[in-house]
Structure 1
């Protein structure tokens, strides 16, 4: 017979230590099924078994007790554990193996997949805690609880992380492709007015700052390096406050300008990220020399 919650303390005080009773009370409210095992013999008691569980279905209303816990877990695995996962399930639950593992540990945790008769998938945590042990007996408490909610939350987090990693990988692939044609690339956060250099294959001739404010950085570059007749157009084109409007329906915009040293550059803004309303929030700034092309022209 299963021990009802209100009978728990009365029926266990005779052969359990106070430490065992304390552990049992902690486990009782958290786990949908709870057992006390003697690992040398494999004998077990059902201490708790709630309705609508696979274990309850297996033992029936009378709480059938099998020859030992190894047989119980074999019957459970045959009925509810996918065939490809049964070997691992049985290996963890085997009384001999539990005893070996709990010789040096106070507790063990195991997660497994269970499928009900109607095909519903569920995931459970098995938690084994060492109880009273002496030369003759080796008692443990073994509780089970459903962890579907925890698992689904974790799965959702993993999917979000994978999506972010995939997007980052795609971003890096795009940047690598652009870097083959452009000497300089930086990423720009429009709202924060901040840029960060991510590639500079011609650092000696394009000695730009690694990061900083976009507005002040552009003005300094313009004043020092851009030919005077192109400075006004350069400042207007690189004004990132107007980019969301100018690129509302564009993925990229471009301008050509001449430097004070006579070389020609092509500067391109490339869409990197938009918010949920479609407003541009981040761009890539890519610059390359087109002096050879201009000379041919």
Structure 2
């Protein structure tokens, strides 16, 4: 509700404030614990050398940019190993790609990998086929496979893995959603994302949401990223995602990807590594209960 319906002495309405006094989710700005956790993480299960994080979401949601942003945080400089495109309404990623992040030097990597996929689209036979996401969760698709919107991979395809191991399978599924447009998800997109979610449930794979472009969604966050958990817009967006797709609110993590910056920023870093800690914790729970 507006604090005042009309400004004193004039006829213009006073806009409602878009930030709250108290954070609705507590975060310790300036702390480094999550960063230290991610940097020092090692899988507990000896059968798993690398925790596999499978990303999916609509076209241009920021899947590849999230990979680059995690890489940037850990390298302490802006990186661009996953190709992105800001001018395309279609998926810029057309092949299944595995991304590793360098750790201490050439040939050494952090013990988690990202699987990047083609974007979903709100029309049938456009974007990635939902069945391919399901097969990828089960470990049946090899790196380099070119996605086909009209059909899933066949068992005769050279990129089909007939005997996936635990390391081939997805250990945590991350739905990447554009926070600046998530309030207008069309019904077909919701249906596709829901089908993926139910398939992951049946496989017991943990699921989280990374909410991107929070600076575009909220001017207060654009001016200061520390306003994210005071923002009414971001809170309402997360609540609508929860209602539309069924994700619990504590499984949705807003982040700002690195897009225009040429240097890393501690506050942006904190949101990214906070999400990564939850991703790693969820994946660890999965591989250790099998």
**In which range does the TM-score fall when normalised by the shorter chain?**
under 0.3
> If the length of structure 1 is used for normalisation, what is the TM-score?
0.24
Instruction: Kindly indicate whether structure 1 or structure 2 has the higher relative contact order, using CA contacts under 8 Å at least 6 residues apart.
Output: 2
Q: Which has the larger radius of gyration?
A: 1
Decide which structure has greater strand share: 1
Decide which structure has greater helix share: 1
> If the length of structure 2 is used for normalisation, what is the TM-score?
0.24
